[in-house]
Structure 1
Amino acid sequence: MTLRVAIVGCGKAAENHVAEIKKLSNVSLIAACDSEPLMAEQFCLRHGVGASYTDFEQLLAEQRPDVVQIATPPQSHADLALTAIENGCHVMVEKPLAESSAVASEVIRYAERNGCKLTVGWTYYFDPVVRSMRERVARGTIGDPVHLDAFLAYDLRGRFGAAVLDDAAHWVHGLRGKLVQNNLDHLLSLVVDFVDHDSAVSNLSAWRATHSPYPDLVDELRLTLAGERICAQIAFSCRARPLGHFFTIVGSKSTLRLNLANQTLTEDSSSRLPGPLGRLACGLDQTRQLASQSFSNLARVIRSDFQALPGLGYLLSAFYRSVERDEDVPIPYAHILRVSTWIDHAVNGIRDAQAVSQ
């Protein structure tokens, strides 16, 4: 069975999608749609896609795809997803699924009622090192998780950041939570497997420097998720350098440290050697782990398997498999809704903090 796939939105995110779609033998990309005719036409020419559209409903009526991948700005995600589902399509949506948890819940319920599969673009959730981390925790390697810490250093001097700063009409400025709302999924999706089911935002602070070079954007956000057994610290910064994406799980036996930018995962554990020798042994063990993983990553580079978004291919493959075999989707809907609820709290907190600071 070959799944017929259409893409909506022909920007950078769509380029990432199509690169992974081309690797799948059971998928055929049949059409692309963008509100800008030239964007859609050039995308189709670059990738050998047969049909170009500016009208999404026309695409659905004429092409009747099995799956629609939505790679547009977040403001349009929910409406496009609901339209695709109404036409019997399974849907993969870039993050965030919707601008609020209420709308995200509506989209998920509609998909379930219509027998359609739905997933969201949590690419980091499926990075090889993240999957390895979850496996270690499941095996009990670190004991019981007791604390989580996730941090994202966002480079506003990069290509996307520069586009946001230079264009007052950029879609990021139209989000209630601006840049933070567009990126919190990257952090919260990492912790959702490990926190308690009753975890909620217990503390939030949003800060903007008096003479910030980033008008209309917060310089830093920090929030705490607290539950019955465990708490998680989440931090997002526009000022930290270099670009970084880190996740730490502190356990009752040892600690896992994940660097998603470098695709490394190391474990801190105590040494049986006494005093200074023990501290030296721990440092040498960290060096050994990093060297081993660097050589493994070098092998991936040689195999052309060290992409910027290594989890995207895994996510798409797992989602298409769930469609073909009518299996569970790769990301539980409960996870998506919990993260959407936390983002609501963060966005509201940002707005309150900005109002106070002004």
Structure 2
Amino acid sequence: MSLLSPPDLPATRLAAARPGPSETFSEPAADGFVLGGFAWRHPQADPSRPVVIINAATSVRCRYYLRFADYLFANGFDVMTYDYRGIGESRPASLKGLKASWSDWGALDFEAMLQRARREFPGQPIDVVGHSFGGCAVGLAASAGAIRRVATMGAQFAYWRDYAPGLRWRMLGKWHVLMPLLTRLYGYFPGKRLGWMEDTPAGVVRDWATPHPRYEGRPSGRRLAAKRNGQPFARVSAAVLAISLSDDPFGTVAAIERLLAYFSNSPRTHLRIAPQDIGETEVGHFAFFHSRFDTRLWPIILGWLRHGELDTSCPGRVVPRA
């Protein structure tokens, strides 16, 4: 399995991974685009029970997180997962010409999930778990001020100079040269046939591949920053836990800290874990959400969402705030 691409999860395994009461849903975004997802809902409403929204990584289907969602549900949370427009449950017949960017995924799609959570789970605290770009999306929604707590894993803006030094040039060629070239050829990125990730809308590729260190330097980031007076993250006041793995070539300390700097109105904690801290040789960018880590890594997020602080027994070290 490549550290740079999510592993495949066959449908037969996914069926076994969803023993909880998952239900499908459709939710229109503000521009009318219909998003698809899954929800876990306890039979009795409880205003003290948080609902967790899981934001996926770029072009990773929400089905990838079903085991983790079921784990949160089994531990007392209501849960929602969904796909961004153009991906998985939210994919139209064709991606050619589809209007979709990182900003659309955050300001429209994640915003729609926040609105749904407020409507379907009225009065309940809203927490968010964000993987990779899913952590960035937190700051792009207009209703982000409603979020109580955030936990991210490997969350960053894919700035190439932040990639792990030993893999930087290979990753630059793959994600910032080859990916946009193939996107121009096909009208979208055919990631699935390459085994890299899901097929991806062209606007998302432009945002990812633009070699700029700041979000507002990406094409859709410039537009959203202008609309929000340059501060799309200003509404977030939730306590943020950023988890990174030392063998994640995307989630280096520099990359994680670059994103955390945007959450200037939030208490921020960066937990850096080496695979050896949990008796492993590798974890990388994707494996955190594998069920084999349900007793070693998942409790870190569970404890954060419950208490808003790290348990003293957590593996890894806290990176000092600059």
Give TM-score, length-normalised by structure 2.
0.35
- Between Structure 1 and Structure 2, which shows a larger proportion of helix residues? 1
Q: Which has the larger radius of gyration?
A: 1
